[in-house]
Structure formats: C-alpha cells, structure tokens
Structure 1
Amino acid sequence: MDQTTRRLSLPESPREFGFWLDGSYRGGRALFERASPGHGVPVTLIPKCTPEDVNAAVAAARRAFEDRSWAGLSGSDRAGVLQRTADLLRQRAGELAYWETLENGKPIAQARGEINHAISCFEVGAGAARLLHGDSFNSLGDGLFGMVLREPVGVVGLITPWNFPFLILCERVPFILASGCTVVVKPSEMTSATTLILGEILAEAGLPKGIYNVVTGSGRTVGQAMTEHPDIDMLSFTGSTAVGRACVHASADSNLKKLGLELGGKNPIVVFADADLDDAADATAFGISFNTGQCCVSSSRLIVERGIADRFEEMVAEKMKKIRVGDPLDETTQVGAITTDAQNETILGYLEKGTAEGAKVLTGGTALDMGGGSYIAPTLFTGVTPDMSIAREEIFGPVLSSFRFDTVDEAVKLANDTAYGLAGSVWSRNIDTALTVARRVRAGRLWVNCMLAGGPEMPLGGFKQSGWGREAGTYGVEEYTQVKSVHVAFGKRNHWVE
C-alpha cells in the first residue's frame, strides 16, 4: 500500500478478523465476506457472532465493571488511557482510513479526515474524564449536607451504522469510557474492520480487559440480542428511526434499559437573498453530496428565497456537475460509492419517484458506470412540493429537493415541516434573520453560514423523531451516568420515639 501515489491499491486477499472479547481476538465462527462497494472485490472476512457470543461479551463487560478495574480509577488515570489511544490512532491513521474506505466506499481523503476527527474525540474525552463531577448542596440547614454524585451507568451496548463506522464509534466510545462504563459494540456487518482494530489500539493504550468488546454479525441476530439483553444497562443506537422504535420496544420488554438514540434526518438548508450566494451554493452541494449523501445530517431540503431561487438552483447545479465522483482509493475523488446494494436500489427508487410525482431534475438523476461498484450522480430536484416522497422521506443518498419561500415565517414553517429534527443550516448576512431562524428551527444542531462544521466539544443529537439524548463533549459523558443524591446528617438525631 503506497500512500505516496495518487491511487492506493486493493489488498491481494481479504483480511480475516476475529471478534474482540475480553481483550483479545476470538475466532472459530462462520465468516461474512465483505466486498468493496467501490470495486466489487472481497476485502474483509468478519465473524458471524451468535447470541451466545453476545452473552459472553456482556458477561466480560459486567465482570470488568463490577471489579472496578476501570470505574474505580481516577479521572486522571482514565484520561491517560484515552490520550494514549489518541496518540496510537495518529500512528495508525493511514491503516484505519484504508480499511474504512475499502469497506464503506467513501473517498480515502475523506476517510483520513474522519480519522483525525476520531483522534479529537479521544482527546476531548480524555479532558472530559478529568472534568466529570457531581454537585453539593450546602443549603439544607446546619444539620444536613447534600451531595449529588455522578456514577457510571454500567454496561453499555453500542450499535453503530455503516455510513460512518469509525467516526460515529469514536463520537461515543471515548465518552462512554470517560464516564467509567464498560461497553459491548456491534458494528454493521458491512463495516466492522475499524471497530475491531480499535480493540487492538485500546489494549495497547492500557485499557483493562473486558472494558471494550466487539461482537460482529447481523442486526437481526446480534443487534436484537443486545437490545433485549437484561444485563445491558444502557443501549446507544445510531440508525434509522424505524429500528430506533424497535429498540424502545425491546427495552420496555426486557429491563427498561436507558436508551440513547441518534436516528433519521430530513435536514433543511435555508438560503436568504442577502446571503453570500457563492458560498451558500458550495455549501449546499457539499452538504448533500458529502459521504454520497449517506449522512444523517445531510442537508437534503433546500429552502431558498423566491427572488433568487432560479439563479441559486442553477448555481448549485453547476457546482454539483463539477463534483469528482469516482474510485474511493483515488486521492482526488470527492464522492465515492454507495455503501450497500440495498441502499443503491433505494436511492434509485427515489429518483424514479421524484420524477413520477412531478419534480424536475436540474442535474444528476442517474446511476454512473465506473466499471464496477455502485455510483450515483449528485442530484437536484426543483418544483418539489411538501407532499412528495422525496420531500418527506429520508433518502440517504445524494438527492436534494428544492423549495421556495417569501418570508422568514414561511421559511421556518417549511424547515420544521418534517417528523425529524436532527440538523439544519441557515445562510444570511443579517444576524437578526440568521439567529431568528436558528432559534426557531427545531433541530439538535444548527449551522449559521457554514455546513457540517464543529468538533467533539459540542453535543450531538436530535429533536422529535431524530432521537433521544446527546453524544460528545461533557454532555456526552454525562449521558452515560446516573445521578445519585446523598444526604449526610450532623449531630444528634431528634428522636421520633421518646
């Protein structure tokens, strides 16, 4: 693998992994062969774990939690492990980006950027481990003192998706570990390699055995076993709203485990006539095409002021035409392959629906033949009405629907006209306009004159059917804790019975 060339080479044979249990790889299971979505050749062999493997992983995590080998450490000691992990990730960034690209189909340059973000997550997590604290109440009178303790929730089950396998993993794991919890991870069977490699890195960084475990396989087998498991204290799931609902039901039917859910999105980008239109057009094309639109915070609904709408749509279309779609291992590629065959068919189906329902394609609208793999041209629909499927349903692909407005109130109403509330963006030089929209749009993240910006210091999460709870930063560490009130009495008790 020569990283000095403009295009990396494919592996000579698929890399075989075990699953990660109690500090080491375990094998002896049937294997799932993953083919690169950008090339159609096998790249990894991943174990198909069983419910019994889930039981073993949860038992290891429970033992490690109860023996206090991690939860009993100081925040400083936990921070040291997380910081060493960040350092080791930096040393192995090229390797991680390579396997991320092979399994997912995203461009190698993008994958490298995501590994850098993951490193930042561990660095922020290290700081948060030292800052996590409770509270005190010195206002209960001379005879009573109150303390509020934050304690780790226990064993956390973590189910991650295939669109950002390592980035989403690392927006959670450092903060779970900072809280003192142990974790059992189930990555998508399509993209398990980097989650498993993280086990090696954490062990080298000094994480005790049993704190981080990985079980691989299908959602129906492994994921279901985790959601129903009575000894998992909290489940963090990132994926579709439909599966999120199933997690809620499974939790209710098992042990009422705590849930953290980051689910679907149908995110608006609101552009006013006074915006820097060239910047806004570039951000619009980027926001829907990044990661081939397979991004829960993709800006999939363009809401543009009517007086500039025709011109702005053309500007966006011209930007989209220039996007370099191609081989994910090519350093110059901006948009890579669709990650799964099923998702490719889903996106193509929405392209057909959009045209059938009366929307007009300004650019894109077709699959692209790259000689192998699944590729779709970044697409812009105009003439979209709120009742259309492409306007209301999460497509999870590079498909943008355009709407028009005349007033701020109308723009806000269109932005909020969705079951989701994950993210949004507003573009205006007028600070009053921009902040009015930012405050009134019901979403967990808002970008003003920027797109997909920020770092792991800030919390992530959604409103409405986009999820529960927050990840990253100090909010993310607190998400994985329980709050306990402690009352301490002073002096002699006033007896109830004389």
Structure 2
Amino acid sequence: MEHVTAFAAVPETVRAFGFFIDGTWRDAAERETMVRRSPAFGRDVTSVALCTRADVDEAVAAARKAFRARSWAGIGGADRAAVLLGVARIIRQRAEELAFWETLETGKPISQSRAEIADAAGHYEYCAGIAQSLSGEAFNTHGDDMFGVVTREPVGVVGLINPWNFPFIVLAERLPYILASGNSVVVKPSEMTSATTLMFADLLKEAGLPDGVYNVVTGTGPVVGQAIAEHRDVDMISFTGSTRTGEAVLKASASNFKKASLELGGKNPQIVFADADLDDAADGVAFGLCFNAGQCCVSGSRLIVEETVAERFQALVLDKLSRIRIGDCLDPETQLGAIVSDQQCEKILGYVKLGEEEGATVACGGNTVAVSGGRFIAPTLLTGVRNDMRVAREEIFGPVLCMITFSTAGEALEIANDSPYGLGASIWTKDIDKALRAMRGVQAGRTWVNTTIAGGPGQPVGGFKQSGIGREGGRMGVEEYTEVKSVHIAIGKRKHWVT
C-alpha cells in the first residue's frame, strides 16, 4: 500500500530527464529543454532535452558499435530470452510507477495505464519464446551435389520513432521483437510523452541488456525524427503516427533504401447488423470511441449501422455515452481521459463544427468538460452523416463518432471500404455466415468480430492502404526485423566449366 500511495498525487516539482546513449545518462546541459504540462491536471510534470542531430549521430554510432561487437546479436536465443523475461519481471515490479508517469504525461486514466503496463510485460514474455525458436529453412531438394539453407539474421541498427498516445505499449509492441532477433535500436519517443521510454533504459540495464543496444534520443520530429529516418547508418525505420508524417519518414528513409515498417492513421468502421446483440454492440462502440479519449489509431470512429435498428441503436449508444465517467485520471473509476494538447483539442472541436456545417447533427457532446484543471472533451455522436463528408473521411483523433446507416450487407462493406485508410474494423452480428463474409470483405489489417480493440501479442498488427506497410507483433513482428539470406552449398568436387 505504501508503494501505491507514493504515486497517488501529482508531484510538486518537475522531473527533469536527460537522454540515454551507450548505457550512460547524458544531461541536457546546454541543450534546449521542453516542459510537459499534464493534460489531465494542467500542471508541469516533466522536462526533457531537445537533442540535436549530433546526438543522433552519437546514438547511432553506439548502436552500430554494439551490433558489430556482437554483444547482443552474437549470443544465443536462450540468453536473449533470459534478459527479456527479466525485463517482464521488472516491469511487473515497477508497474505502478510506470503507470503513474504514463498517466501524468498522456492524460489517460490510471486504470488504462495499468492495463497497458501489464500488457507490455506480456510482449516481452512472448518474445522470449520467439527468441529461442526463430528459424530458417532447409532445402534438401537440389540433388546430391547441392544443399540449400535459408537463414534469418538481425537487420542491424533499427530507428524506432514512437507516438505520444501510447508511449509504453507501442514501445512494447516493437522493442522486444526488435531485440528478440538480435538488433540494436535508437528510440525517439514523442517529446510530449518521453518519461516511460526513458525510465525503461534503467529497467533494461538492470535486466542485463548490454550497453549500446538500447539508446534513447529525445526531441522533436523535424530534428531528431528526421535525422533518424534519413541516417545512412540506420538499417531499418519503424514509425507509428499519422499518415502524413509517415509519408515524410518513408521519403527520408530512401537515403539508403532502409527497410521500413509504418503503422499510420485510420478511420475505422464499426459495422453493426440488425441481428447483433445490440446491448453488447453499443457497449463495444462506446469503448471503441472513448478508449484513450479517441486518440487511438484503431479507434472505432465510423458507426455503420443497419437502418432497421438505427434509431434503437442510437438510443443505446447515447445511453452508454451519457454514463461514461469523466474525472480525476488518478481515480481508478475514471474511464475517459484528457486530450493531449490545446492544438489537438481545437482540432477536434473544429471537426465537430465542420460536421454541423456539412449537415450532421450533434446528438450528444461536442463540448469541453472542466475536470481537475485538465483538458477534456465529452463523448460526441454525430448523426445524419454521409460517407463523403470530411468528418467521415478524415482522422479526427478524438472522442467523436460519425453515424452512417446502410440497408444491405453489400452496402455496409462498400461504405466501410470507401476510405483511404484500412487499419482496423469491427463487425457486430450473431450470424456466423454474415460475420465471415464481412470479415473477408472488409479492408482492414486488424478486424474484430463481436468485440473491438482486443487481443494479445501472438497476432500481427498493421494496416492496408494508407494505414501503413509491414507488420508488428507475433512471429511476423520478429521476422520483420530480420534479413533473409538464401545459401547454396555445393557438395563434393566441382564439375569444371573451363576444361
């Protein structure tokens, strides 16, 4: 109880962080710093260094040195697994501390932060198994004079650029997979939510990760992110964020044709058929909208509901949204968190106004809520939306739900797929045939049936179309960070070409 009590109130002083290179902490020194004001409490909580391109060069050099020294890449899978399991154990030991700082910087409810920290530990435990079982192929099909082998090798130095909305769990959906295959990494967290990524450096070192394998350089995207993306000694880039920024990252990565894995934006449909369990579906829709205050790339932001039950279902959703608990984000009962910045808040409210101008009706919400000195927006439902409206096509990234009706299953899929994005989708029906047809037809890298935003580390994640390239998570997530080498081995005396 004493440990929990220590993280029960907003600290009186700002916690200043340096950055981490080659196993050593570096002070901000003469560099500029950025103070983070908690979006949930309106108080300054952390300060991070705004690093330079020279800092990125140093971090990349440290990662390259560690990779060449084979201090991590050269050890056995069982040894890597021992470290990853140690990381998971330490995460669980320090879960309350990590969740506390995650909530302070992101503004998400403490219950969600705690769940994400617990889920993160699971990724390291899962990858400990993959580290010991990652394998290639053998081809004993070339005749008596040839044997073939396909091996997987670590790609080298990975640049990892992470978003502000899920700093710790997105790190966990990438880092253990990067490490399981033997790579070194340079991480750039968002300058707004860097604390837990920086804190994690000490956890990794305690677990036995060699120096130089994990490096953290804090700062802005245009400086630090750009430098990592275009760096000629970075072998692969992993980026999670907006489609627009992902395009810039992909262009920068062409400097040395580095591999790229991008998880980008989404405008995700929740398709509700008339034969669904409507009470369950309404709860799922409310959760899919309000999870992380809608600041989630797989947020269910388009409600596509069969017209015969639209009026009834709208009433169920409105009832659910009216009972969402908004309050102190350190209170475990709070369900809806804060909006990350003033700019994001203005953007969300601007879309609500735009929706009205386009002909939609604000059925609920559309306003700010004053809680604990923070920045909150009430859950918002826009009805009378057409799929050609900007509010239905553009990523709002807030708790704003656009409701569209359909008459046939074919029309539902047409509406769902009429989007430049293809990240996530949820299907609600009790008809297994209908569910399977919709699951096959919807264009989304992550698809749920009678649930939403659920799952574990075993299955890959990623998007179709402008929602990204590559896959994270699962065995594919480890393989993503490897290079494939095809080897042909001659047996016996060579038959000479020149005689």
Shorter-chain TM-score tier: over 0.9
Find the counterpart in structure 2 of residue 243 from structure 1: 245
**1:3, distance to aligned residue in structure 2 (A):** 6.4
Which residue is 1:346 aligned to?
Answer: 347
* Structure 1 residue 372 displacement after superposition: 1.6
Contact 1:6–1:332 at 8 Å: present in 2 too? no
Q: 1:127 aligns with which of 126, 129, 154?
A: 129
Cross-structure match for 1:226: 228
Task: After TM superposition, give the deviation of residue 24 of structure 1 in Å.
Answer: 2.0
Match of 1:162 among 152, 161, 164: 164
Contact 1:61 1:184 in 2 (8 A): yes
Q: In structure 2, what is the equivalent of residue 264 of structure 1?
A: 265
What SS is found at the alignment partner of 2:265?
A: coil
Distance in 2 between residues matched to 1:123 and 1:174, nearest whole Å = 9
Q: 1:7, 1:331 within 8 Å by CA — same for their partners in 2?
A: no
Note if contact 1:460-1:471 (Cα within 8 Å) is conserved in structure 2: yes
Contact 2:7 2:100 (8 Å CA) reproduced: no
Q: How far did 1:384 drift?
A: 0.0
1:379-435 deviation line (CA, Å, top 9, x unaligned): 111100112111000000000001111111111111101000001000111000001
Matches within 5 A, 1:381-400: 381-400=382-401
1:324-355 per-position Cα deviation (integer Å, ceiling 9, x unaligned) = 11221122110111011211111011011111
TM-score, normalising length: structure 1: 0.98
Matches within 5 A, 1:65-80: 65-80=67-82
Could you list the structure 1 runs, at least 4 aligned residues long, displaced by more than 6 angstroms after superposition: none
Question: CA shift at 1:2, angstroms?
Answer: 5.9
SS at match of 1:485: strand
The one-letter code matched in structure 2 to 1:9 is A
Matches within 5 A, 1:366-377: 366-370=367-371, 372-377=373-378
Q: How is 1:108-119 mapped onto 2 (pairs within 5 angstroms)? A: 108-119=110-121
1:17 and 2:17 correspond: yes
CA gap of 1:338–1:113, structure 2 versus 1, over 3 A, is same
The secondary structure found in structure 2 opposite 1:323 is: coil
Whether the 8 Å contact between 1:6 and 1:330 is mirrored in structure 2 is no
Change (3 A) 1:54 1:6: closer
Q: Hey, what does 2:409 align to over in structure 1? A: 408
Residues 420-439 of structure 1: pairs in structure 2 closer than 5 A: 420-439=421-440
Residue 366 (structure 2) aligns with:
365
Give the secondary-structure state (helix, strand or coil) at the position aligned to 2:56.
helix
SS at match of 2:437: helix
Distance in 1 separating the partners of 2:16 and 2:151: 44
Amino acid at match of 1:314: A
CA contact (8 A) 1:326 1:337 kept: no
Instruction: Note the aligned Cα RMSD (angstroms).
Output: 1.2
| C-alpha deviation, 1:30, in angstroms | 2.8
- One-letter amino acid matched to 2:294: G
Q: Distance in 1 between matches of 2:6 and 2:351?
A: 34
Which shifted more, 95-104 or 322-331?
Answer: 322-331
Q: Which residue of 2 aligns with 1:380?
A: 381
- 1:122 is paired with a residue whose SS is helix
Contact 2:40 2:372 in 1 (8 A): no
> Which whole-Å CA distance do the structure 1 matches of 2:24 and 2:172 have between them?
20
**Distance between the aligned counterparts of 1:371 and 1:57, measured in 2?**
39
CA distance in 1, matches of 2:62, 2:4: 42
Match of 2:8 in 1: 8
Counterpart contact for 1:275–1:428, Cα < 8 Å: yes
Find out whether 1:215 has 2:217 as its counterpart: yes
TM-score (norm 2): 0.98
- Residue 296 of structure 1 aligns to a residue in which SS? coil
Cα 1:294–1:389 shift into 2, 3 Å: same
- Select 1:87's aligned residue among 86, 89, 93: 89
CA separation in 1, counterparts of 2:216 and 2:248?
22
Provide the rounded CA distance (Å) in 1 between the counterparts of 2:24 and 2:170. 23
Give the secondary-structure state (helix, strand or coil) at the position aligned to 1:116. Answer: helix
Q: Which runs of 5+ in 2 are unaligned?
A: none
Which range moved further: 24-33 or 190-199? 24-33
Contact 1:7 1:330 (8 Å CA) reproduced:
no
Shift of 1:370: 2.1
**Cα separation, 2, equivalents of 1:174 and 1:238:** 16
Task: Look up the equivalent residue of 2:359 and give its one-letter code.
Answer: G
- Structure 1 unaligned blocks of 5 or more: none
* Structure 2 equivalent of residue 326 of structure 1: 327
Residue 293 of structure 2 aligns with an amino acid whose one-letter code is T
Per-residue displacement from partner, 1:39-66 (whole Å, max 9, x unpaired)?
Answer: 1111111111110000000000000001
8 Å contact from structure 2 (residues 268, 424) kept in 1: yes
Mapping of residues 192-207 of structure 1, within 5 Å: 192-207=194-209
